[in-house]
Structure 1
Amino acid sequence: MEKFTRFIFAIHGHQPIGNFDFVFDNSYKRCYEPFIKSLFEFPQFKCCLHYSGILLEWIRIHYPDHIGMIRTMVSRGQLEMLSGGYYEPILAIIPDEDKIGQIKKLSQLVKKLTGTQPQGMWLAERVWEPHLPSSLSDAGMKYVIVDDTHFKYAGLDDSELDGYYIAEEIGKMLKVFPSSKYLRYSIPFKDVAETIDFLKGFCDQSAYPVIVYADDAEKFGMWPGTFELCYNQAWLSNFFESMLKCYDFIRTVHFADVLREIASKGNVYLPTASYAEMMEWALPARATVELQDFEKKLKTDGLSEKYGAFVRGGFWRNFLSKYPESNNIHKKMLWVDEKIKRASSNLITGKQKALLDRATDEKRKGQCNDSYWHGVFGGLYLNHLRTAIYEHLITAETLIDQATHQNSNWIDVEKMD
Structure 2
Amino acid sequence: MHPAVRFVFVLHDHQPVGNFHGVVEDAYQKSYLPFLDLLQQHPAIRIALHTSGPLAEWLESNHPEYLDRLASLAAAKQIEIVGGGFSEPILAMLPSRDRIGQIRQYNHWLEQRLQTTVTGMWVAERVWDSSMTADLATAGVEWTILDDFHFKAAGLPNEELDRYWITESDGRTIGVFPGSEHLRYVIPFASPDETIEHLRFLASRRQGALAVFSDDGEKFGVWPGTHKTCFQDGWLQRFFGLLEANQDWITMALPSDVIRSDPPGGTIWLPECSYREMTEWALQPEQQVACVKARQNAKSDPNQSLLVPFVRGGSWKNFRYRYPEANEMYARMMVVSNRLARLSEQSITDKTAYQQAATSLYRGQCNCAYWHGAFGGIYLPHLRNAVYKELITAENALDRAEGRPATWVEAVSSDYDFDSKTEVRLSNEHIDLWLAPSVGGMLYEFDLRKQRHNLLATLDRRQEAYHDQVLVGPGEARSIIDPSQLATFKHEGLAEKIQYDEYRRKSCIDHFFDVDASAADIASGRALERGDFATGSYEASIRRNPDRMQVLLSRKGNVWGIPLTLSKAITLSAGSDTVELGYRLEDLPDNFCQHLAIEFNFSGLPSRTTGRCFRNKDGLDLGHLGTHLDLKETSHLSLEDNWLNIQATLDCSVASNGGHAGMWTFPIESVSQSEGGFELIHQSTVVMPHWIVTPDASGCWQVVIKLSVTGLAEATESLDQAKKISAGI
Q: Cα deviation per residue 1:308-328 (whole Å; 9 max; x = unaligned)? A: 111110110110111011000
Output the CA distance in 1 between the equivalents of 2:296 and 2:146. 26
Q: Cα deviation per residue 1:108-155 (whole Å; 9 max; x = unaligned)? A: 221122211111010000000011111101111100100000000000
- Show the counterpart of 2:306: 306
Deviates more, 1:358-367 or 1:147-156: 358-367
Output the CA distance in 1 between the equivalents of 2:233 and 2:77. 28
Distance 1:266 1:100, change over 3 A: same
Matching residue's letter, 2:33: E
- Show the counterpart of 2:321: 321
Q: Which TM-score applies when normalising by structure 2? A: 0.56
CA RMSD of aligned residues (A): 1.4
Q: Cα deviation per residue 1:231-280 (whole Å; 9 max; x = unaligned)? A: 01111011111101101111101011111111001100000000000000
- Show the counterpart of 1:132: 132
Task: Decide whether the 8 Å contact of 2:348 with 2:402 is kept in 1.
Answer: no
- Show the counterpart of 1:361: 359
The 5 Å alignment of 1:139-150 reads 139-150=139-150
Output the CA distance in 2 between the equivalents of 1:44 and 1:224. 29
Secondary structure of 2:144's aligned partner: strand
Matching residue's letter, 1:415: S
Measured after TM superposition, the shift of residue 333 of structure 1 is 0.3
Measured after TM superposition, the shift of residue 406 of structure 1 is 4.3
Are positions 1:40 and 2:30 aligned together? no
Measured after TM superposition, the shift of residue 364 of structure 1 is 0.9
Distance 1:292 1:397, change over 3 A: same
Output the CA distance in 1 between the equivalents of 2:237 and 2:347. 56
- Show the counterpart of 1:394: 392
Matching residue's letter, 1:414: V
Output the CA distance in 2 between the equivalents of 1:129 and 1:303. 31
Task: Decide whether the 8 Å contact of 1:147 with 1:275 is kept in 2.
Answer: yes
Task: Decide whether the 8 Å contact of 2:84 with 2:103 is kept in 1.
Answer: yes
Distance 1:65 1:326, change over 3 A: same
Secondary structure of 1:202's aligned partner: helix
Are positions 1:77 and 2:71 aligned together? no
Task: Decide whether the 8 Å contact of 1:43 with 1:73 is kept in 2.
Answer: no
The 5 Å alignment of 1:190-201 reads 190-201=190-201
Q: Cα deviation per residue 1:201-246 (whole Å; 9 max; x = unaligned)? A: 2224334311110000000001111101100111101111110110
Output the CA distance in 2 between the equivalents of 1:268 and 1:262. 16
Output the CA distance in 2 between the equivalents of 1:385 and 1:61. 20
- Show the counterpart of 1:23: 23
Task: Decide whether the 8 Å contact of 1:192 with 1:239 is kept in 2.
Answer: yes
Distance 1:274 1:348, change over 3 A: closer
- Show the counterpart of 2:63: 63
Deviates more, 1:278-287 or 1:202-211: 202-211
Task: Decide whether the 8 Å contact of 2:145 with 2:179 is kept in 1.
Answer: yes
Deviates more, 1:108-117 or 1:24-33: 108-117
- Among candidates 376, 398, 410, match of residue 408 of structure 2: 410
Q: Which TM-score applies when normalising by structure 1? A: 0.97
Task: Decide whether the 8 Å contact of 1:12 with 1:215 is kept in 2.
Answer: yes
Output the CA distance in 2 between the equivalents of 1:146 and 1:235. 26
Task: Decide whether the 8 Å contact of 2:2 with 2:208 is kept in 1.
Answer: no
Bigger helix fraction: 1
The 5 Å alignment of 1:210-359 reads 210-302=210-302, 305-349=305-349, 351=350, 353-359=351-357
Secondary structure of 1:178's aligned partner: strand
Output the CA distance in 1 between the equivalents of 2:175 and 2:120. 9
Distance 1:192 1:412, change over 3 A: same
Distance 1:299 1:250, change over 3 A: same
Task: Decide whether the 8 Å contact of 2:15 with 2:52 is kept in 1.
Answer: yes
Output the CA distance in 2 between the equivalents of 1:4 and 1:146. 23
Measured after TM superposition, the shift of residue 98 of structure 1 is 1.1
Measured after TM superposition, the shift of residue 74 of structure 1 is 1.1
Output the CA distance in 2 between the equivalents of 1:315 and 1:87. 21
Deviates more, 1:87-96 or 1:207-216: 207-216
Secondary structure of 1:289's aligned partner: helix
Output the CA distance in 2 between the equivalents of 1:2 and 1:102. 36
Measured after TM superposition, the shift of residue 304 of structure 1 is 6.5
Distance 1:155 1:2, change over 3 A: closer
Q: Cα deviation per residue 1:171-210 (whole Å; 9 max; x = unaligned)? A: 0111000000010000011111111111112224334311
Task: Decide whether the 8 Å contact of 2:13 with 2:51 is kept in 1.
Answer: yes
Measured after TM superposition, the shift of residue 300 of structure 1 is 4.1
Measured after TM superposition, the shift of residue 347 of structure 1 is 1.3
Secondary structure of 1:414's aligned partner: strand
- Show the counterpart of 2:378: 380
The 5 Å alignment of 1:145-224 reads 145-224=145-224
Measured after TM superposition, the shift of residue 68 of structure 1 is 2.1
Deviates more, 1:316-325 or 1:339-348: 339-348
Matching residue's letter, 1:364: Y
Task: Decide whether the 8 Å contact of 1:3 with 1:204 is kept in 2.
Answer: no
Q: Which runs of 4+ in 1 moved over 4 A?
A: 302-305
Output the CA distance in 2 between the equivalents of 1:286 and 1:208. 44
Unaligned runs of 5+ in 1: none
Secondary structure of 1:392's aligned partner: helix
Higher gyration radius (CA): 2
Output the CA distance in 2 between the equivalents of 1:376 and 1:233. 25
Output the CA distance in 1 between the equivalents of 2:132 and 2:64. 34
Measured after TM superposition, the shift of residue 373 of structure 1 is 0.1
Matching residue's letter, 1:276: R
Higher relative contact order (CA 8 A, sep 6+): 1
Measured after TM superposition, the shift of residue 410 of structure 1 is 3.2
Percent identity of the aligned residues? 40
Secondary structure of 1:264's aligned partner: coil
Output the CA distance in 1 between the equivalents of 2:208 and 2:369. 41
Bigger strand fraction: 2
Matching residue's letter, 1:66: Y
